[in-house]
Amino acid sequence: MNRIDARFKDLGARGRAAFIPFFTAGDPAPETTVELLRRVQDAGADVVELGFPYSDPIADGPTIQDSYHRALRRGLRVGEVFDMVRQARDRCELPIVAMASYSLVFRMGMEDFMDRCLAAGLDGATVPDLPVDEAEPFFTMAKERDFRLVCFATPATSEHRRELVIEHAHGFIYYIAVRGTTGERTELPPDLVDNLAALKRRTEVPVTVGFGISRPDQAAAVAGHADGVIVGSAIVKRMAAAANAREDPVETALGFIRTMAAATRETN
């Protein structure tokens, strides 16, 4: 069984939401990423989303964009990201999901990208700029390889595309809580709970929520209605501040992840 499916099945049996941290591969350094991957399970993570740095991401706000640019300025290449995952797998049993621009996938070729993901130890991918209604070959290939291509849904997703997401979704659905790009928010949308309930009534695939979650109270609130909570910008921001202050970005990230992961369990 794919690690993503196994993890959500176990959490569902225990009535728990997953905590899913995001961090950028190679920021502030490749060895930082490897250490985080090796240690993040002990901090309470259930699944990891790993960003593949790209020069022009379409869905990411300034915090994650800056982290991508820092990694690229240091000369990071896509092959190094696969190497980081491969190195970390000696002590990391968690599902790891790549977040990669379709430009990177297209340049490499769908089949080669997926094969390299699997060889490195990645369990699935989110490709935010690949429209679900144009992804049929990718979904077919993913199913053949037991690889999970995670679909997105947003408050503005049309009914037609929402039906395609429900039809093709495997692993989990990534529900984008807010309109706009990634980044910390002081408040989450008032219609979030209703939107989640409507989506969950139509699919048995786990539904996770990301974009805008930055505080423990927000994580706890979302965990009461979703199958998973994704936190990215708040982690990346704290790591960058720690690196600038010559503090340990790994310990900073793990401390914050412990707090947020504990919050997701408060309502379960």
CA-based nearest residue to 179, from 201, 158, 164, 157: 157
Q: Which amino acid is at 6?
A: A
> Does 167 qualify as catalytic in the annotation?
no
Number of Cα atoms under 13 Å in the Cβ half of residue 129: 14
> Does 49 qualify as catalytic in the annotation?
yes
> At CA 210, angle to CA 17 and CA 200, rounded to 5?
55
Four-CA torsion 166, 108, 122, 137, nearest 10 degrees: 30
* Of 5, 35, 46, 60, catalytic: 60
What is the Cα–Cα distance from 95 to 115, expressed in whole angstroms? 16
* Of 5, 27, 46, 49, catalytic: 49
Q: What tokens does 14 get? A: 């225990």
Measured distance between the N- and C-terminal CA atoms of the chain, rounded to whole angstroms: 25
Catalytic residue numbers, as ranges: 49, 60
